[in-house]
A and B are shown apart, each in its own frame.
Chain A
């Protein structure tokens, strides 16, 4: 080391600090992206979903599902006889998501945009899509506001809204006597999705005679819940409610079990991947689910088998969302023999039915473009009864029941008013 110039070794603190900040900034904006080779006669879909950050692990399931769907569609003859191509990119954050949506529409001439998980990014993508009169099918953003005050003509929602999650799980909680006259302690992810979910949960509580002992907003990058667990222990609530998102749910469940708390747990936002990550020793509680791999229908069995064959693990609910969106879009284009946005939009608004792997077909509700389909409530199995790393829960029958309209679990009346522009 002595043969080198010592003067070069003098590094100013200012330089070092600038360096640290620059590094941190680069970390925030840098992102891997994947763009497939483009062939001129193909029909292109744009797929945007977070692949990094706290929603990244869920986004990855979406990407796997899109690949599988595209493969199956092309094997079956493609869309209107043309090959289907998906341009997949990491949406990263709302700003990047809208920039990428813009580029996909203007430069890559995509027929539509699918995907997303973050409600905040859904909003920015939908604004770009509406401005360019391009369809955007939301496969993972739950916020009611997207179907209410922020709705727009060009955005459709395969993912179900927060109200549907709250009402499905709420029915199960009411049946267990955990609502009327009970005290809830809720933890809420501090961003658009969490705030919206908390609002809907509060409305549900007020309508059904429960009250909140406390509701805490948790920063999305918080990983340690010990301070909140101490508060929960002191508050002795009748029920602990998670309005958390992504990896937060896994961290929370692991630490909840670590602290040995025994108050019942339920949640209003949920993804099966997070239960799998928590593992059988830590997963507990009652959760709503838009779809899961144990649903007993032939289409679900077929999808689970194909996905497991390709990737070596079962699909989780986010995979269902993206797979279903790609399939619905391709099916509609084939049925209409066109990729024209106006035609598809009209077809969907008129109530075209689609197989969504559940007992009843689904359709888009014209008033807010929400896909109407059944939900499920899942309950964690005790660790001793768990046979493998995936089947950690039992499921309720479809909610609503066979004699009820699908609309009963969705927003009603003035709960979320959408004025399509």
Chain B
């Protein structure tokens, strides 16, 4: 019984990693541009559909690299064409814009690929189990975990240890001061949007073999991702990481204790508690322009 519970706790932690890839990009784009990107889930769906198109030609490995890059490219076009007009306006406007964008993207997927879900399987080479003593885990998910961990570390390094990251962080805190120093934030915004949206695309590729692929799949993932961002704290990198793991963990424990039917409700309850007692989120910094 205890082993089973520990397995559930570990599984829950790993489960949280999938929200992470979506939530990180969401948080990044919000932090820098103040854009509440409701279309983020749609980019995840586009990543999954691109995989179905690309994998037969370049293999799943090729798709893991190509799909997120293509999605990032779409993200950059969207940032240049649309997002940049809304950086200094009321977030309600960007919210309506991205909501519309999400609907257009979903409907386009429906028109191109049809409404019924499409099939895509784990490549034969990645099937099978990993066994550590009592703990048995899917090989494919272990790979997912490695890729996600590499992304988190890579992103952290980029933001904390590079000149690019310093400008982005300064831009988050005080865009006007950055401007006054003669640095144009424009290319940074573009890169951040591409990066964040590319991460959503990557999540799409990685989850395509284990989740149902249908046009509305973006909606399925966007709500938990928002919950993660709110719990973690807007603008906080580690907040999002910790919140994603916590959400997975709490879900895992809920199921482990036998309350499966509460496993979704419990993450909204977590968000409610955080909003009541610490509205800026667990690790939310006091960003002046958001107060």
Which residues of A are in contact with B by a Cβ distance under 8 Å?
1-2, 4-6, 8-13, 15-17, 19-20, 22-24, 26-27, 30, 32, 51-53, 56-57, 59-61, 190, 216-219, 221-224, 226-228, 230-231, 233-234, 247, 250-251, 254-255, 257-260, 273-274, 276-282, 313, 316, 389
Contacts and interface: CB of A to CB of B under 8 A. Distances in A.
Contacts of A260: 127-129, 138
Nearest to B261: A217
A2 B116 CA distance: 47
A276 B212 CA distance: 11
Interface residues of B, number: 76
Given A16-B234, A228-B255, A277 B118 contact: yes
Contacts of A224: 15, 18, 211
A27 B99 contact: yes
B115 interface: yes
B121 interface: yes
B264 A219 contact: yes
B15 A227 contact: yes
Given A1-B87, A234-B4, A258-B122, 9 more contacts: A5-B88, A9-B87, A16-B234, A60-B114, A218-B260, A228-B260, A251-B211, A276-B116, A279-B120
B212 to A, nearest CB: 4
Given A9-B88, A221-B264, A233-B136, A226 B38 contact: no
A313 B113 CA distance: 12
B141 A226 contact: yes
A277 B30 CA distance: 34
Contacts of A316: 116
Interface string B184-222: 111000000000000000000000011111101001110
Contacts of A26: 99
Chain A CB within 10 Å, residue with most, of B90, B114, B280: B114
Interface in B71-127: 87-92, 95, 98-99, 102-103, 107, 114-122, 127
A190 B119 CA distance: 25
Q: Which one of A13, A52, A216, A282 has the greatest number of beta carbons of chain B within 10 Å?
A: A13
A20 B275 CA distance: 13
Interface in B217-238: 219-221, 223, 226, 230, 234
A32 B107 contact: yes
A279 B122 CA distance: 11
28 contacts: A1-B175, A1-B179, A2-B184, A5-B88, A10-B289, A11-B289, A13-B234, A13-B290, A16-B234, A17-B279, A19-B92, A20-B226, A20-B230, A53-B216, A57-B115, A61-B116, A216-B260, A223-B211, A223-B212, A224-B18, A230-B4, A231-B4, A234-B7, A247-B117, A247-B212, A260-B129, A279-B120, A280-B119
A248 to B, nearest CB: 8
A281 B128 CA distance: 13
Nearest to A217: B261
B68 interface: no
Contacts of A222: 263-264
Nearest to A272: B116
Contact of A56 (B141, B216, B234): B216
Given A217-B260, A221-B264, A259-B138, A254 B88 contact: no
Contact of B256 (A32, A61, A227, A313): A227
B265 interface: yes
Main secondary structure of the interface of A (DSSP, over half): helix
B117 A273 contact: yes
Contacts of A254: 121, 209-212
A26 B222 CA distance: 14
A231 B38 CA distance: 35
B34 interface: yes
B220 A9 contact: no
Given A9-B87, A218-B260, A258-B210, A276 B138 contact: no
Nearest to B222: A27
Given A20-B226, A20-B230, A226-B11, A15 B90 contact: yes
Contacts of B289: 9-11
Contacts of B88: 1, 4-6, 8-9
A224 B99 CA distance: 25
The winner among B87, B120, B184, B214 for most chain A CB atoms within 10 A is: B214
A4 B186 CA distance: 13
Nearest to A227: B255
Contact of A60 (B116, B209, B260): B116
Closest 6 CB pairs of A and B: A279-B119, A60-B115, A277-B117, A217-B261, A227-B255, A219-B264
Given A227-B255, A276-B116, A16 B15 contact: no
Q: Interface centre among A17, A226, A280, by most B CB within 10 Å?
A: A226
B11 A247 contact: no
B84 to A, nearest CB: 8
Nearest to A273: B116
Contacts of A56: 115, 214, 216
Given A19-B92, A217-B260, A234-B4, A13 B279 contact: yes
B118 to A, nearest CB: 6
A4 B141 CA distance: 47
A321 B209 CA distance: 30
A259 B129 contact: yes
A117 to B, nearest CB: 13
B12 interface: yes
Contact of B90 (A1, A11, A61): A11
B277 to A, nearest CB: 15
A274 to B, nearest CB: 7
A26 B223 CA distance: 12
A19 B216 contact: no
Nearest to A283: B119
Contacts of A11: 34, 90-91, 289-290
A4 B85 CA distance: 11
Contact of A247 (B30, B141, B180, B214): B214
B168 interface: no
Nearest to A278: B119
